[in-house]
Structure formats: structure tokens, C-alpha cells
Amino acid sequence: MPVWEYAPAPESAAIGRIKSRYQMFVGGRFVDGRGGDVPTINPATEEELATVSWASTDDVDDAVRAARAAYDTVWSKMSGLDRGKYLFRIARGIAERARELAVVETMDNGKPIKESRDADVPTAAAHFFYHAGWADKLAHAGFGPHPKSLGVAGQVIPWNFPLLMAAWKIAPALAAGNTVVIKPAESTPLSILVLAEIMADAGLPDGVVNIVTGAGDIGSYLVNHPGVDKVAFTGSTAVGKKIQTALAGTGKKVTLELGGKAANIVFDDAPVDQAVEGIVNGVYFNQGHVCCAGTRLLVQESVADEVIGKLQDRIATLRLGDPMDKNTDIGAINSAQQLSKITELSAVGDEEGAQRWTSPCPVPDKGFFFPPTVFTNVSQSMRIAREEIFGPVLSVLTFRTPDEAVAKANNTPYGLSAGIWTEKGSRILGMAAAMRAGVVWANTFNRFDPTAAFGGYKESGFGREGGRSGLAAYLDTDDETGSDEGTAA
Amino acid sequence: MAPRTTSKPAPAAATRAKAAPAKGTVAGSATSGNDVTPGRATSTASPVPVLKTYKLFIGGKFPRSESGRTYPVRGASGQFLANAAQASRKDARDAVVAARKAFGPWSAATAYNRGQVVYRIAEMLQGRCAEFVELLVAGEGAKPKAAAATVDAAIDRLVHYAGWTDKIAAVFGSSNPVAGPFFSFSTPEPTGVVAAFAPQQDSLLGLVSVIAPIVCSGNTAVVVASQAFPLPAVTLSEVLATSDVPGGVVNILTGDAAEMGTHLAAHADVNALDLTGVDGDLRTALARDAAGTVKRVYVPKQQPDFTRTPGTARLRAFLETKTVWHPTGAVSLAGGSSY
């Protein structure tokens, strides 16, 4: 392999205009929470980035009240066209402050600047732009001629795509005519608070979107709040189950986007170089902090050695380090807690007899970093083949026949995504049909678009985000033709 | 037509006997018209009727409950009608196994084929409508005319859903205009094995209205029938068994919804629950148990009126959306990476 030398090309932190302190956003105002000031750190440096005023349960009450008032007095009465105009404005606002948002996201989350710049931020803007256009066309969405909004949506989002998940949640909720109380993850509150500035500048009526900051207790209080009509959660399957349990019998509409353990299946006729790129993208994108990451590589036995060899060669070229450097491929793990979880589960892989290979890339002394790791000789019963690691760790299994690939791919309680690599068209379509997973990428991986529904089968959750079916999550989808209608909760 | 009373169910059958010869009362007694208690021949001139044993319907077969338990089913005026099998936890688990086994082929069957099968159920039900009228009159105390209308509505319901099978993908699927060189499409797929609790009161129309939307899209069903009025459900099993419905696609259990419900709601091989037929604390408890494996749960907002034309909520409740992506054109030769 030739040696490629890169000069550092860091993005300027000043572009992020990060303030020393951030407040919650409730009722159209930036206000102090009553949960105290808590620092948020830059995971790449372990240094404090800013302090954030956290919410107390009283603040959640205030936020739900503000959302209800906004729903009753303004938002539910506004025409769909006008609701859409606000969403279009927000989309434009995100685009205009894209570079700033990318820096904020990278510094608070640890993801490489090229990803926040090229994926997170533009896709967030795209989600607002797409859903803006739905606001006055809901009658054409296929849920009856007069689909109704639900009311106040309580939303809880994770730390892996802070701004993008905010967009996935807020945009369809508002387009469908609901108002929102949303809680960002405790370790990544900044980008959504910049989004709050954009929404305020866009003139979004007070209380239509309220942002409460805090940890899991605040999220739990929010989703169980009696003033909330709809709950949307993205996060771990364990927490999702708790939410589903707690909300049973309440009549609240719930959608859950939970964990995954996706199979990325490489057949012997696959274009190997492309497949290697796709495998790398599938598992190392965003440090593997991706619910749909292709963390189980299923490779046909006859090409396993070739694929694994090329894969390791390719991974060894990935640059790990300063997320602000535009050349960086793999940034920082989001938190010390997540780093220790990845470290522990990888150690279990060693104990269970899998063979560990670690990229020889240099690892910074400071910050939370975990080098790209590949486990071979993995069997289906191992924890590294069953549990979501949520880090840059790939488990390699092999198969001989397509049937075996299908059986192994589906042998998981999860069902969020899957990948297929083969040059044979009929095999692509056959495999895609056989996957019990909500998203199937064939000869590509980790593609997202607001027009394409995203969401899981089985324990990866229910409900979709994006596309026409994503709107169903925020509409009362009763048909008016009869009373025999309920909620798919 | 002479006035009828619910205590004289047999002549009601006779009114519909042109389409299908009446089999008499619920348990198959002579059609003398004098029977007050169905199943007991009163005329020495008639042969002693053969009574039906009401069993479960699992995997296309009619087993007794493995527990050996039965419970008496009584009619509207308290008369004994039959003993129904009281299904156990083991029966429920057997039904789930059968439903899971049937799911692969049934979900892979062409929509056209599934439509024909569901339509065939309507045909078979039409042929036996007199028998169902009898059951509704004897069991629920329905007026014969109303019972006949109910059976007609159940037939119509099946016809309605027979026509849905090959429309679902077009109505709920999409081609996605993504912002990149990819072909992306989203298509609805069946959720899997659905455990359904049929309405307690509307023992035929409610039952059919619950089953049809589940199976027409390719799901398979484990159905807990009305506990008080299980006989139409068991007789519907016979209709299903003669309608080219593959064994295991619909499994019908009779007995106590609370006893079986807990096991079905917690069963890891059940993908979704339809809680139409349970309410109150049991409904909440089952919805809670369902969270253990993130099951989809359908709960009607209010008591359904099954006489109305159905919307699509029941159909949509047991569908997943799968989105498939593939690169398009020459751009794909550049590779599949964002790096």
C-alpha cells in the first residue's frame, strides 16, 4: 500500500459560535430550567464545551402547557399552507447556518466534521423541506380525506444524530398539525438549541416547539405526562420496552425506533471492492453509533478470506482522530460511558473465542476513542453477534448457501436493516424480500432520505419515519367511514 | 313469513333453505320445528340426530384441547347447546407454532392467490349460511331476520377483503424520489403472527371482521373466539378448512381469553395483538405484556360497529413497511461509499 500523508485540515471551532451557556426553549422563549446547570463536554478533548440549563419536572409541565396552548389557539387552526411556510423557513434557516451547525454537532457529539457537514445537517434541512410540502396535502396521504392531528407530541431523541433526529421528529409532527415537546439526549443538547434559535428567527409561533433538556428521568416524565397525546422515541430497545409498558392502556399513540443488529450479506459474485466500501460505511459511519449499522458481516465462505483481507487493508487506511479535521474518517466515541460499554462487549468477544483484529491506526491520548475493530470466527450464539454494541466493531460470520444467509440474517430479535451485495438482480430482489427488516440496502448501505420510510420490524420498534407512511405516526388515522378504527399503538 | 320466536330456531333455517338445505338446529337435530332444546329429538319418527363435537382449529386440524377440558355453551334462553373445548396454554402455544409455520408460504403466496382463497371463504360461508343463522339465533338470541342479515354482512366482509389483497401494495407502498442516484421503493409486508381476540358479542360478523384484514395481507392468525358464543367460530373453522385456506393460516381457540391471553401476549413468536375482544384491566395487562417483545398492538378506540363499511386501520395495523434501495445507472460503478 502506498503511504498517504495528510496535512491537518481542521475546521475552525469559532464557526460554531458556541456560547458558554445554553437555556431551554419553552413557549417561544429561552428560559432557565430548574434542574440546575450541567456541563456538556467535547468527547474528542474531554473538555467542557458549554453549560446547559436542565429542566425539572415542573419545567416539563410548563412546556406541555405551552404546547397545548399553542395547539389549541394557533397551530391547529392555521392552514396547512401556512404551517408549511414555517417549515420551509426552518429548512432554509438550517441551510443558511449549516456550517455553524456542523461545527456545533461535531464538537458536542464527536462525529467527523465531514459527516456532520455532508450528512447530518443537509439531511436535517431536507426533512423540514420535504415535510413542509405535506402540510397542505395531508388529505392525499392515504388516511382519509380529513386526517386530524393528534395534539401534543412528546418526543425523546438519542445522541447519535442529535440534529437529524430532531428534524426527523419535529418536521412530521408540525406538518401534521401537532405541537411538540422534545427532549434531546443529555450528552448532545447543543445543536437542537441552535435549531431553536432558527425556529425562533423563523417566527414559529410561541409554544409550537418546546425543548426541555435533561437526562432519562425528564424523558420518562415527558412521555408519561398526561398532557401528551403522542409519544415518539428513538433509542435503545430496553428503554423502548419500558415506554411501551408504561403507556399500555393510556390510548396514547406511540412510535418507537429502537436498536438493531443488521446483517450485511456479501455473496461470492459481489463486486468485492464496492462491497468493502459498503461494509466500511455500514459499520464505521458515525463511529458505529448507528441503530441500523451493518454490524454482522455475513460473507459467503468461498470469498471470506479475500473479503476479510481487503476489508482489513481498507480499514487500516481509515483516519481516526480529531473530528474537526476534514480528513478524519472516524471521530470520538460520544461519551466515556459508551466507550466503556464498547470496551466491555469487545472483551466478551475475546472471552467467547472470537478472533480480534484492531486497526493499527494511531489513537489520540485524550478524548474517547476506539479503533476500528473486526472480530472473525464469530458464531451466532456469541454476544458480539447478538447484542447491539453501538461502536466501531464488526462481527464476521460466514455462510454457504443463500438459505443459510437468510436464516442467519433473520436470526435476531431485531429487524431494522440489512445489506445485500451481489451482482445478480434476481438474488437482490429475492434476498430483499426475505429480510425481516425495515430497510434493505442492496449494493449500497446507510442511505437516508426524507422521502423513504425508515423504521423497524420486530424488536427494532414500530412506526415509520419519512415518506408517506411516516405521516401516519402523527395523524389520527381513523377512517371516517366507520367507527371500527383504532390506534396502531 | 310467520312470526318466529327465538325458542323455535329450526323454522328460521327453513326460510333460507332454498339456498342450502337446513341442517336443523345448532347441534344438528331434526327440523321438526318443535324443538325447544336443540339437539334433543322429540319426535320418535325422526332418527336420533348426530350431534357435533365442537373442537379447536389448529394447523388445519380439529383437535380437542390437550387439557381435556370443556365448558358448556348455553343459548339465549339458558338451554344447553354444546360443550366447547376450553383451550389451554399448551393449545395456544401449539396454535402459535402452526401459525408461524404457515406464515412463510402464506405471506409468500401471490396476492391474487390470497384473494381467491379469501373469496373462497365467502363462497363456503354463503353455502352454509342457514347453519350460521341457526347458531346466531340459538346462541345470541338474534331474531332470524337479523341473524340472516348478519351472516350476509359477514359474507360481504370477506368479499371486501378478498379484493384488498392485490391493492395493498399499490395503496400503501411507494416509489421514493430520493435525492441521489438510487432506486428506492417502500412496500407493505405482513407483520407475522397475529394473536387476535375476537369480539365477545358479535360472534360471527365481529369474528370475520377481525380475521379477514389480518390474513388477507399475508399474516397468520391465532384467534381467541367469543367465550360465551364460541359455536359460530368453530363452525367457521369448518368453512375455513374447506376453503383452500392453508392449515395454520387461521387457528381458532375457544375458552377463556384471560387464561390464554397472558401467554399469547408474552409469546416471543407472536408479532402483534388485536385486542378488540378484551377490555378493561385485561386489555391493559395484555398491552403491557406485549411490550416485552415490542409487539404491535391494535386497540379500537371505541366499541366497533361491524355493520359499517370498514376503513383501512385494521388492515394497516398489521403491516410493516420495507424500504429497499439500490444504486441506479453508471454512477453505481463509482462505488457504494460516502467516504
> Per the CB < 8 Å rule, is A484 touching B335?
no
> For residue A106, is pLDDT > 70?
yes
Report d(CA B209, CA B154) in Å as an integer: 7
User: Which residue in chain B has the smallest CA separation from A462?
Assistant: B296
> For residue A322, is pLDDT > 90?
yes
> Per the CB < 8 Å rule, is B284 touching A249?
yes
Q: Is residue B48 assigned to a domain?
A: no
Q: How confident is the model at residue B32 (pLDDT cuts 50, 70, 90)?
A: very low
**Shared-domain flag, residues A44 and A137:** yes
C-alpha cell at A204: 414559529
Q: Residue type for A185, please?
A: A
Share of chain A above pLDDT 70, in %: 97
Average pLDDT, chain B: 88
Q: Is residue A448 assigned to a domain?
A: no
Cα separations (Å) of B113 from B110, B219, B246, B247?
5, 14, 11, 15
> For residue A111, is pLDDT > 80?
yes
- CA–CA min distance B273, chain A (Å): 10
- Residue A107 near residue A49 (C-beta atoms within 8 A): yes
> For residue B330, is pLDDT > 90?
no
**Shared-domain flag, residues A272 and A401:** yes
pLDDT tens per residue, range A159-178: 999 999 999 999 999 999 99
* Catalytic annotation, pick one of A105, A257, A459, A465: A257
pLDDT tens per residue, range A46-95: 999 999 999 999 999 999 999 999 999 999 999 999 999 999 999 999 99
Q: How confident is the model at residue B273 (pLDDT cuts 50, 70, 90)?
A: very high
Judge whether A361 counts as a catalytic residue. no
> For residue A156, is pLDDT > 60?
yes
Q: Is residue B159 assigned to a domain?
A: yes
Q: Is residue B178 assigned to a domain?
A: yes
**Shared-domain flag, residues A470 and A381:** no
Q: What is the pLDDT of residue A112?
A: 98
If one counts the domains in chain A, the total is 2
> For residue B2, is pLDDT > 70?
no
**pLDDT mean over B134-163:** 97
User: Which residue in chain B has the smallest CA separation from A420?
Assistant: B326
**Shared-domain flag, residues A249 and A381:** no
Q: What is the pLDDT of residue B21?
A: 39
Report d(CA B311, CA A143) in Å as an integer: 9
- Among A244, A438, A483, select the one facing B294 at the smallest CB separation: A244
**Shared-domain flag, residues A282 and A316:** yes
Cα separations (Å) of A467 from A126, A150, A318?
12, 19, 34
Q: What global pTM score does this model have?
A: 0.92
**Shared-domain flag, residues A436 and A341:** yes
Q: What is the pLDDT of residue A2?
A: 72
Helix ranges (DSSP H) in A392-463: 402-410, 425-434
**pLDDT mean over B99-123:** 98
Q: What's phi and psi for A168, nearest 5 deg?
A: -60, -35
pLDDT tens per residue, range A239-280: 999 999 999 999 999 999 999 999 999 999 999 999 999 999
Q: Is residue B9 assigned to a domain?
A: no
**pLDDT mean over B61-87:** 97
Q: Nearest Cα to A169, choosing from A186, A160, A187, A181?
A: A181
Q: What is the pLDDT of residue B118?
A: 98
Cα separations (Å) of B233 from B29, B200, B239, B240?
20, 11, 10, 10
Rounded-to-5 percentages of helix, strand, coil across chain B:
40, 15, 40
Q: What is the pLDDT of residue B231?
A: 97
- CA–CA min distance A318, chain B (Å): 10
The CATH number given to whatever domain includes residue A394 is 3.40.309.10
**pLDDT mean over B261-275:** 98
If one counts the domains in chain B, the total is 1
Q: What's phi and psi for A368, nearest 5 deg?
A: -100, 105
Judging contacts by C-beta atoms under 8 Å, the chain B residues touching residue A486 are: 298-301, 313, 317
> Per the CB < 8 Å rule, is B179 touching A453?
no
**Shared-domain flag, residues A171 and A107:** yes
The gap from C-alpha A473 to its chain's centroid, in whole angstroms, comes to: 17
- CA–CA min distance B303, chain A (Å): 7
| Residue A453 contacts B, CB cutoff 8 Å | yes
* Catalytic annotation, pick one of A11, A105, A291, A459: A291
Q: Nearest Cα to A164, choosing from A466, A438, A367?
A: A466
pLDDT tens per residue, range A423-453: 999 999 999 999 999 999 999 999 999 999 9
Longest Cα–Cα distance of chain B, Å, equals 90
Beta-bridged to residue A297, according to DSSP, are: A264, A396
Q: How confident is the model at residue A6 (pLDDT cuts 50, 70, 90)?
A: confident
Q: Is residue B25 assigned to a domain?
A: no
Q: How confident is the model at residue B301 (pLDDT cuts 50, 70, 90)?
A: confident
- Residue B143: give the domain boundaries: 54-327
Judge whether A292 counts as a catalytic residue. no
Judging contacts by C-beta atoms under 8 Å, the chain A residues touching residue B153 are: none
Residue the block writes with cell 371505541: B302
**pLDDT mean over A290-297:** 96
Q: How confident is the model at residue B22 (pLDDT cuts 50, 70, 90)?
A: very low
- CA–CA min distance A388, chain B (Å): 16
Interface of A with B in 390-429 (CB under 8 A): 413, 428
Q: Is residue B160 assigned to a domain?
A: yes
With helix as H, strand as E and coil as C, how does A265-282 read? EECCCCCHHHHHHHHHHH
- What is the CA angle A89-A91-A93, rounded to 5? 70
Q: Nearest Cα to B50, choosing from B29, B71, B73, B66?
A: B29
Provide ipTM, 2 decimals: 0.96
Contacts of A106 (CB under 8 A, 6+ apart): A11, A112, A113, A116, A323, A324, A331
Q: Do strands A29-31 and B80-85 pair parallel, antiparallel, or not at all (unpaired)?
A: unpaired
The CATH number given to whatever domain includes residue A207 is 3.40.605.10
Q: How confident is the model at residue A487 (pLDDT cuts 50, 70, 90)?
A: very low
**Shared-domain flag, residues A165 and A291:** no
Q: How confident is the model at residue B303 (pLDDT cuts 50, 70, 90)?
A: confident
**Shared-domain flag, residues A53 and A202:** yes
Judging contacts by C-beta atoms under 8 Å, the chain A residues touching residue B327 are: 443-444
> For residue B279, is pLDDT > 70?
yes
- Residue B154 near residue B303 (C-beta atoms within 8 A): no
Report d(CA B319, CA B296) in Å as an integer: 10
- Residue A280: give the domain boundaries: 263-442
> Per the CB < 8 Å rule, is B299 touching A472?
no
- Among A451, A459, A489, select the one facing B293 at the smallest CB separation: A459
- CA–CA min distance B58, chain A (Å): 24
Q: What's phi and psi for A127, nearest 5 deg?
A: -65, -40
